[in-house]
């Protein structure tokens, strides 16, 4: 089985370009260490940490509809719903596999597997974390 590095998506609402064209289908690649480190040097991120998500997503979203490139301006102009969708997707495709433990029901003694959801996330991308803190 090949290691998957790019993932297709369809935005819930979509990006509307300057000509009124709607762009919903796209692709996102897995992030590299540089993708997470480089945006921290960006003056926009230094002034406003929330801008980290914009810069990071503009680096890893490889395609969006018929756009020739996905840059920070495109990400800035997404609807909040689509931004949240991409942030969740980023976290999902770049996360480690959840830890699995075997548990036993104290009443019926049935054994089953549980996934333990880790705390926190990527230190370089605090604004990309879900609400699990």
DSSP for residue 31: P
Domain ranges of the chain: 6-128
- pLDDT tens for 30-83 read 999 999 999 999 999 999 998 999 999 999 999 999 999 999 999 999 999 999
Question: In sequence order, what E strands does 1-133 have?
Answer: 6-16, 22-29, 61-64, 99-104, 111-116
- The reported pLDDT for the residue numbered 3 is 81
Quote the CA–CA distance of 100 and 104 in Å, as a whole number.
13
pTM of the model: 0.73
At residue 1 the predicted structure's pLDDT band, cuts being 50, 70 and 90, is low
Q: d(Cα 78, Cα 83) in Å, to the nearest integer?
A: 6
Q: How far apart are CA 130 and CA 91, in angstroms?
A: 8
CA proximity to 17, closest of 71, 55, 92? 71
Count Cα neighbours of 103 within 13 Å in the Cβ-side half-sphere. Answer: 9
Higher pLDDT, 26 or 131: 26
The encoded tokens of residue 53 equal 């998500």
- pLDDT for residue 119: 39
What pLDDT band is residue 113 in, cutting at 50, 70 and 90? confident
Which tens digits make up the pLDDT trace of 64-78? 999 999 999 999 999
**What H or E segment, with its residue span, contains residue 33?**
helix 33-37
* pLDDT, tens digit, 9 for 90 and up, residues 14-24: 999 999 999 99
């Amino acid at each position: 089985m090949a290691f998957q590095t790019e993932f297709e998506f369809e935005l819930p609402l979509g990006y509307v370009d300057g000509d009124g064209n709607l762009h919903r289908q796209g692709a996102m690649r897995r992030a590299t260490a540089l993708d997470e480190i480089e945006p921290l040097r960006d003056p926009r991120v230094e002034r406003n940490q929330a801008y980290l998500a914009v810069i990071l997503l503009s680096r890893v979203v490889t395609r969006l509809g018929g756009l020739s490139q996905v840059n920070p301006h495109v990400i800035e102009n997404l609807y909040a719903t689509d931004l949240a969708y991409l942030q969740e997707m980023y976290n999902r495709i770049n996360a480690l596999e959840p830890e699995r433990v075997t548990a036993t029901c104290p009443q019926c003694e049935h054994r089953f597997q549980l996934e333990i959801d880790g705390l926190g996330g990527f230190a370089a991308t605090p604004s990309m974390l879900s609400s699990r803190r």
